[in-house]
Amino acid sequence: MHLAIRYLTEYSYDAPVCDNLNALRVRPATTSSQRCDEFHARIDPEARVSRHLDYFGTEVLEFGIPTGHEQLTIDMRARVVTSDPPPPSEGDWESLRSGAYLDAAGEFALPWEDQPLTPGLQELEAELASATGPLQALLELCALVPTRFEYRSGATYVGSTVTDLLNAGAGVCQDFVHLSLILLRRRGIAARYVSGYLWAAPEDGGADSLEVDTHAWLEALLPGSDGRGEPVWIGADPTNRRLADETHVKIGHGRFYADVPPVKGVYMGAAASELQANVTISRLDPQTGARA
């Protein structure tokens, strides 16, 4: 798919603020199934933007506005070409203990220490116990999480923990992913958090342009079939009950949300801020199912 993405963020402050420093992780990545052709970010008030790749390989844009201002606009535009990833391989549980797998998994297989083991979590774990292989477990997880939990924005906030999700019985994609990551890692499957954009058009197509939000899904490391071949990271979207495909535009990944927040900033001043954020995705190629 050919997609044009516009991510517009506007902060307004009720009194002038200064030394407003921000780090953006918004640029679509270039991977084996996705290419970012154009990328442009405009900041108002104008600011010099510096870029670097972070530890996880995500491009970070940083800028600071030293002088007083009451408004901040971050206007990002990108054009991306995506394609469906190849079908996932079917390795067995045994392969998860191989040296090659553990090397590839690295820190994404480590238990997530800050999250306490609550009874609700153990119950969900039991439901996945019968899965015949890692891929099966991943697919069952993608079906289980959205069935058990209601997607409701406002049920949680950016700093919510998995316990909050379990207590509320509802949350947003970020919470669904965090829960899934814990369950996968406890099962020995390396898994990482993915931040990005989603072309969330209805099945029959129809729209050329959509108003969406930034999205989150995950990638799980699945061993090669029959213990052969390299393990491969497979995208899975527990919010939408399916594996990731060409409608998913990846920005970057990390251990959890805090490693890839789209916009993170601090400013000097006691003023309160109000945020308006919009993601608009437009499809540029013909609707008739042409694959990029």
Partner 1 sequence: MLARIAHELYWLGRNLARAEFTARAVEAVFQAELQGAADALPGVSFGSGGLLAMLDSVTKHVPAGAETLGRLTADAELPGSMLASVERARAGARTVRDVISAEMWEAINTTTLTLRRDGAAGWGAHAQPYVISQYVKQRTALIWGVADRSMLRDEAKCFLDAGGLIEVADMVLRMLRIALPSDEVEQADGSALILLQAVGGFHAYLRAGTAPPNAHPVARFLLFERAYPDSVAACVDSLHEVFSTADAGPRNSKPVLRVSRLAADLDFQRRALPDGAELTGICTSTQHELARIDQDVSERYFAGAVPAGWG
Partner 2 sequence: MPAGARDNAAVGSDAIALSTEIYRPPTPGFDELFEHDGSPRPAARALIDELRRLGPEGLLEAGRRRDAVFVQQGITFETSGEDGPSHERPFLLDLIPRVLSGDEWRAIKRGLAQRIRALNHFVDDVYHAREIVREGIVPWRLVAGCPHFARAVHGIRPPGGVYCHVAGCDLVRHSDGTWKVIEDNVRVPSGISYVLENRAAMARLVPELFASYRVRPVEHYPQLLLGALRSVAPSAESEATVVVWTPGPANSAYFEHAFLARQMGVELVEASDLVVRDDVLYMRTTRGLERVHAVYRRLDDDFVDPLEFRADSMLGVPGLVRAYRAGSVAIANALGTGVADDKAIYCFVPEMIRFYLGEEPILENVRTYLLSDPEVLEHVLARTHELVLKPTGESGGRGVTIGPHADERELTALARRVRSHPERWIAQDVVRLSTVPTVTGDGSLQPRHVDLRPFAVFGERIDIVPGGLTRVAPSEGSLIVNSSRGGAAKDTWVLENGEEADRAGVGGFPISDTLPPALPDLRYGRWSEQQQQQQQSTPSSH
Residues forming contacts to partner 2 in the complex (CB under 8 A) are: 19, 21, 23, 48, 50, 52, 54-56, 62, 64, 66, 102-103, 106-107, 109-110, 113, 258-259, 264-266, 268
**Binding residues among 230-269 for partner 1 as defined by CB under 8 A:** 266-269
Q: Scanning the structure block, which residue is given the tokens 């090659």?
A: 100
We find the least distance from the C-beta atom of residue 202 to partner 2, in angstroms, to be 37
Closer to partner 2 by Cβ: residue 110 or 275: 110
CA dist list (Å): 194 to 31, 56, 118, 178: 13, 11, 24, 10
Closer to partner 2 by Cβ: residue 39 or 56: 56
Nearest residue to 189 via CA among 147, 135, 230, 142: 135
CA within 13 Å, CB half, 238: 34
**DSSP secondary structure, 68-132, as one string:** -EEEEEEEEEEEEEE-PPPPPP---GGGGGSHHHHHHHGGGGS--TTS---HHHHHHHHHTTT-S
We find the least distance from the C-beta atom of residue 19 to partner 1, in angstroms, to be 8
DSSP 224: P
Which among partner 2, partner 1, none contacts residue 259 (Cβ within 5 to 8 A by kind)? partner 2
Closer to partner 1 by Cβ: residue 159 or 202: 159
How far, in Å, CA of 126 to CA of 203, rounded? 33
Closer to partner 2 by Cβ: residue 116 or 286: 116
**Binding residues among 10-69 for partner 1 as defined by CB under 8 A:** 17
Q: Is 158 an interacting residue with respect to partner 1 (CB under 8 A)?
A: no
Closer to partner 1 by Cβ: residue 69 or 77: 69
We find the least distance from the C-beta atom of residue 83 to partner 2, in angstroms, to be 30
Which among partner 2, partner 1, none contacts residue 92 (Cβ within 5 to 8 A by kind)? none
We find the least distance from the C-beta atom of residue 112 to partner 2, in angstroms, to be 11
Q: Is 273 an interacting residue with respect to partner 1 (CB under 8 A)?
A: yes
Sole binder of partner 1 in the list 129, 158, 270, 290 (CB under 8 A): 270
CA dist list (Å): 202 to 34, 109, 212, 281, 283: 21, 35, 13, 14, 13
Which among partner 1, partner 2, none contacts residue 139 (Cβ within 5 to 8 A by kind)? none
Which among partner 2, partner 1, none contacts residue 269 (Cβ within 5 to 8 A by kind)? partner 1
We find the least distance from the C-beta atom of residue 106 to partner 2, in angstroms, to be 6
Q: 270 CB contacts (<8 Å, ≥6 apart)?
A: 15
Helix (H) or strand (E) holding 53: strand 50-53
Nearest residue to 237 via CA among 292, 200, 284: 200
How far, in Å, CA of 156 to CA of 168, rounded? 8
Contact set with partner 1 (CB under 8 A): 17, 266-273
